[in-house]
Amino acid sequence: MTAPSPQVTPPVKASDHLLDVRHLTQTFKVAVGRTEATLSAVSDISFTIDEGQTLGLVGETGCGKSTTARAILQSPRPTKGQVLFDGEDLTGLRGGPLRRSRRKVQMVFQDPYSSLDPRWRVSDLVAEPLRINRIGGAEDRGRRSAELLDLVGLDPSRFGERKPHQLSGGQAQRVGIARALALSPKLVICDEAVSSLDVSIQAQVLNLLEQLRRELRLTYLFIAHDLAVVKHVSDRVGVMYLGTICEIGDSEEIYRRPAHPYTAALLAAIPTAEATSGDDAASIAGREVAVAQEMPSPLNPPTGCRYRTLCPKAADRCRKEAPTLRSVGPGHDVACHFPLLLAEPDLPGRS
């Protein structure tokens, strides 16, 4: 009798992209009263980022953007799916190999003060990643800290001895950026990195991030809830709603010709000076859709299309079948049964 062949896990197919997120799903068990429920934070999303590119990930609070960022960092590990970064499947790494890969992916947080130890000097905060990873001696780390502060527009002789409470919000965020650059990462995740700053300071920090991208050949995942901000920094834009990506594509294409009703509604909510002009898809759908309506709970998401309960185009098919991303143009994909850019068929049973 021939012994059964052992089960062999097929190798992960290599990716041509710096970051390749495949069918990422993240769920959590939460207490609801005396029972336990499953919260669906991210549901089967896929996207890629090429080296030197910025992908803007945008959506309302609670849509799963920050959960996606943490899943990429494997903190915590995703429930399902794969995260391929620089040729490695991060979901398959443990211990030392995972820590070494994480050096290449760093994060800039929304609130710089909460991410900076208030007891430490700025120079020590910037050098801390080097100390943790045992890179260089004290003198080398001090020199590198001064270089990074200078790189983000802070004079190390003036700011190096200060503590976080002695900094303005914009200065503190520059320290956060310098700290993120200490290990020379390839990918920087900016998680609402400018949302807590005044508008004029936002512009300065965004200009700095763009300058650093060019000079250091960085790649960004730029997470925000404001489409007007994302427009100015992103090559491509992905729009998230209730844990799913409903549209992704070239930045100019998304802003000029949105294909998903939710994207169009977000664009219509931008102040007039930033909104698209004319009788285009965004302005048409913006008259129909109210973004201000409350998003359904991720504890009990709608069946089929998760946006259907707020969508003026919803039909029976939207209730029964979840849409998958499909092309509506070069590099432009939408998860909608009835995209705005395509001619509408008869829709019997529309609700």
pLDDT the model gives residue 342? 59
Number of H helices, E strands in the chain: 13, 12
Q: Which residue, chain included where needed, has tokens 């001064």?
A: 146
Averages of pLDDT over runs of 10 residues in the chain (351 residues) are 49 80 96 90 97 96 94 95 95 91 94 91 97 95 97 97 96 97 97 90 94 96 91 93 96 94 91 50 45 79 95 93 94 95 46 40
Q: Comparing C-alpha atoms, which of 204, 217, 167 is closest to residue 54?
A: 217
Number of Cβ within a 10 Å radius of residue 233: 20
pLDDT the model gives residue 115? 86
Distance separating alpha carbons of residues 300 and 67, to the nearest angstrom: 18
Regarding pTM above 0.95, the answer is no
pLDDT the model gives residue 12? 62
pLDDT the model gives residue 228? 84
Tokens encoding 283: 């302005």
Q: What is the strand order of the sheet 54-58 is part of?
A: 105-108, 187-191, 219-224, 54-58, 236-241, 244-250, 332-334, 326-329
Distance separating alpha carbons of residues 181 and 190, to the nearest angstrom: 12
